[in-house]
Amino acid sequence: MSAWRIAGIIHALERWNVHECGDTVFDIEKVWEASIRHGFLPLKIPN
């Protein structure tokens, strides 16, 4: 799933009214914690 799609899902689930534009991210820790809380985990890539 693309990062854009996940971002849209997280925004909807968290009922956030702000939207990032370009390279601007309002609070990366808040976004990371919300994505983990909703079950989106980083991929484990074997070495």
**What one-letter code names the amino acid at 9?**
I
pTM exceeding the 0.75 threshold for the entire prediction: no
**Separation CA 9–CA 4 (nearest Å):** 9
Mapping DSSP onto H, E and C, the string for 1-47 reads: CCHHHHHHHHHHHHCCCCCCCCCCCCCHHHHHHHHHHCCCCCCCCCC
Q: What are phi and psi of 12, to 5 degrees?
A: -70, -45
pLDDT of 26 > 80? The answer is no
Mean pLDDT of the chain: 87
Q: Which residue has the tokens 């854009």?
A: 4
Quickly state the pLDDT bin for 12 (edges 50, 70, 90): very high
Residue 43 CA, chain-centre distance (Å), reads 14
pLDDT of 30 > 80? The answer is yes
Quickly state the pLDDT bin for 3 (edges 50, 70, 90): confident
